[in-house]
Amino acid sequence: MSIRILPPEVASQIAAGEVVERPASVVKELIENALDAGATQISIKVEGAGRRLVEVADNGCGIPAEELPLAVERHATSKLVSAADLWRIQTLGFRGEALASIASVSLLTLTSRTAKATLGARLRVEGGKIHPPEPVGSPPGTVVRVENLFYNVPARLKFLKREATERRWIDHLVVRYALAYPQVRFHLIQDKYPSLQTSGLGERREVLGALYGAEAARQMLTVFWEEDNLRISGFISPLFLTRSHRRDMFFYVNGRPVQDTALSAALLKGYHTFLMVGRFPLAALFIELPPEAVDVNVHPTKAEVRFRQPDRLFAAVQSAVRRALLANQPVALSTSLPASDAPSGKDVPPPLPWPGWPPMPTPQTPEPSPSISVPNESQPLTAPTQSALPGERLPLLRPVGQVAATYLVAEGPDGLYLIDQHAAHERILFERFLEQHQKGVVSQNLLQPLVVHVSAPAARLLNEYLPLLNEWGFQVEPFGSTYFVVRSIPAILGNSDPGQALQALIEDSEEDEAPLQALQEQRLIARICKRVAIKGGTRLSPEEQRALLADLEACQMPRTCPHGRPTMIHLSVDLLERQFGRRGAR
């Protein structure tokens, strides 16, 4: 085949692919344009997860009628004049590609009026073909309507996720901008369902509520750090508020949401040793530095940036995070585990140190691993336990006591058992759930119905889970768009916090999870059990220890938690004897 220049429609569709990957990208570009136009109100209407319609209306500066055709041309922008401007970019857009790209893969209608003009003008573009503008009556500002997205790129349609997921992307995206621009009123409606409404009063914590739910937003710690021409501000979660995924860590550079693995790493370093393995904080950190210290022109979507002095920035992020944590968690400074007598009742603040506190490594000197190695062979510690099959029932156990408020020590006919109280309780709750599910669930009404507030995307997810929850003994009803009333909970959960159980479902759910599938039910229930089970770090009375052991003995699969981690370590008499040199290898 000979080389030839691509026809313009093909070239522009290829270019569009870089900017417009999915419906949320359209929303992003249009919001950025509205913000660049100085809007103080932005209304977003979405239908069919953005495939049928994305409409963004703003009260910004507007576009003069005669410039409308230019606005949808490629490389047409009012924001950049020379190449040198690239190094002092103050606007979100500058490449002059977005409208042209969107127009080439949709039906786009651009209606705009400047404050000076008495009449507005409307321009239609169909798959890249520009019709001449017509005068129309319209308020000052701009309305961009994007219909039938990707109608002419069937291949792109195939790559879209199911609607619920695309909708969630859009929710997520809008709230991220709302958080960065709290002085702008945002209003998002998806299929007539109000997803987000902010006041525009400049209060970031209010927007955080829409992102994380009211309770979590209240708990977030404030970060503030300033040095020379660098400022880091925003919010991070306290140690007891974490997720099983990294998706709730947000970074902004000069008002622009960015994705940067090095920034995430710096944040996590700030939490170093404070988080359990596999848990991640929530964060919204705003970094402000001189425009010339950062290159935003790395990628067409501008989600990636490059820093002039990355090391200095990352060190600052880490210090800022560390300082905020230490200021709010004085106990974190202590390296020993103080005894905590606080029962984890409903209204009692979480006992300190945070339940599930990771073992604190002694600084510098690496700790020698506890020497319970089996002489001669390098058998792993778990070897003696493995002699018992995971499904094997437990013998009768005699409680001996509790260690570090986290492990129970018990004696059985065949040696010593160290039991992780949290994992054990998870297992017990899980089996009770399964048992009741077969025999009929016993619910228990709450004396006072509990009202839980969650973010709009979480509310949507929770709505999908309601029938399932009902079946498992929760009576939960939607109440407004982002509130739920919990009227009863499974009796098994006793007096644990029902709000926690719901949070467990929504916070740790996977991005593209299709709910209500038989296999997943058990996973969801396991997640609830994990959340409500007694935490490590909780002191148990001798009666409570005895009860926990008895319940564990009654389990079908007592030796692992529902997630498959061991609930216990068994040190057999045989092993003890060999360890003490009473028998075997001398």
Nearer to ligand ADP, 70 or 571 (CB): 70
In the complex, least distance from residue 259 CB atom to ligand ADP, rounded to whole angstroms: 19
With CB cut-offs between 5 and 8 Å by kind, which of ligand ADP, Mg ion, none does residue 426 bind?
none
With CB cut-offs between 5 and 8 Å by kind, which of ligand ADP, Mg ion, none does residue 120 bind?
none
In the complex, least distance from residue 92 CB atom to ligand ADP, rounded to whole angstroms: 7
Nearer to ligand ADP, 98 or 178 (CB): 98
In the complex, least distance from residue 144 CB atom to ligand ADP, rounded to whole angstroms: 6
Does residue 395 have a cis peptide bond before it, meaning omega lies within 30 degrees of 0? no
In the complex, least distance from residue 80 CB atom to Mg ion, rounded to whole angstroms: 11
Q: Compute the distance between CA of residue 21 and CA of residue 27 in angstroms, rounded to an integer.
A: 11
Nearer to ligand ADP, 33 or 318 (CB): 33
E strands in 281-332: 283-288, 294-295, 306-307
Q: Compute the distance between CA of residue 49 and CA of residue 170 in angstroms, rounded to an integer.
A: 8
E strands in 48-174: 53-58, 107-113, 120-126, 129-130, 134-136, 141-147
Nearer to ligand ADP, 19 or 476 (CB): 19
With CB cut-offs between 5 and 8 Å by kind, which of ligand ADP, Mg ion, none does residue 482 bind?
none
With CB cut-offs between 5 and 8 Å by kind, which of ligand ADP, Mg ion, none does residue 71 bind?
ligand ADP
Nearer to ligand ADP, 22 or 243 (CB): 22
Nearer to ligand ADP, 114 or 522 (CB): 114
DSSP state of 6: P
Query: Position of tokens 């499904």?
Result: 391
With CB cut-offs between 5 and 8 Å by kind, which of Mg ion, ligand ADP, none does residue 237 bind?
none
Nearer to ligand ADP, 97 or 507 (CB): 97
Least Cα distance to 421 among 404, 442, 435, 398 occurs for 404
Nearer to Mg ion, 93 or 356 (CB): 93
Residue of minimal Cβ distance to Mg ion: 93
Contact between 408 and 549 under an 8 Å Cβ cutoff? The reply is yes
Contact between 486 and 502 under an 8 Å Cβ cutoff? The reply is yes
Which whole-number Å values give the CA distances from 192 to 53, 109, 481, in the listed order? 12, 21, 11
Q: Compute the distance between CA of residue 494 and CA of residue 448 in angstroms, rounded to an integer.
A: 14
In the complex, least distance from residue 327 CB atom to ligand ADP, rounded to whole angstroms: 40
With CB cut-offs between 5 and 8 Å by kind, which of Mg ion, ligand ADP, none does residue 507 bind?
none
With CB cut-offs between 5 and 8 Å by kind, which of ligand ADP, Mg ion, none does residue 142 bind?
ligand ADP
In the complex, least distance from residue 95 CB atom to Mg ion, rounded to whole angstroms: 7
In the complex, least distance from residue 72 CB atom to ligand ADP, rounded to whole angstroms: 7
In the complex, least distance from residue 32 CB atom to Mg ion, rounded to whole angstroms: 5
With CB cut-offs between 5 and 8 Å by kind, which of Mg ion, ligand ADP, none does residue 78 bind?
ligand ADP
3-state percent helix, strand, coil for the chain, nearest multiple of 5: 35, 25, 40
Nearer to Mg ion, 108 or 555 (CB): 108
With CB cut-offs between 5 and 8 Å by kind, which of Mg ion, ligand ADP, none does residue 94 bind?
ligand ADP
Which whole-number Å values give the CA distances from 122 to 97, 103, 136, in the listed order? 20, 14, 6
Secondary structure of 356-415 in the HEC alphabet?
Answer: CCCCCCCCCCCCCCCCCCCCCCCCCCCHHHHCCCCCCCCCCCEEEEEECCCEEEEEECCE
In the complex, least distance from residue 150 CB atom to ligand ADP, rounded to whole angstroms: 18
With CB cut-offs between 5 and 8 Å by kind, which of ligand ADP, Mg ion, none does residue 393 bind?
none
Residues that bind Mg ion (CB under 5 A): 33, 93, 98
Nearer to ligand ADP, 58 or 420 (CB): 58
Give CA torsion, residues 429, 432, 438, 440, to 10 deg. -100
Q: Which amino acid is at 303?
A: A
In the complex, least distance from residue 41 CB atom to Mg ion, rounded to whole angstroms: 18
470 contacts: CB under 8 Å, gap ≥ 6: 476
Residues that bind ligand ADP (CB under 6 A): 29, 33-34, 37, 58, 60-63, 71, 76-79, 93-100, 142
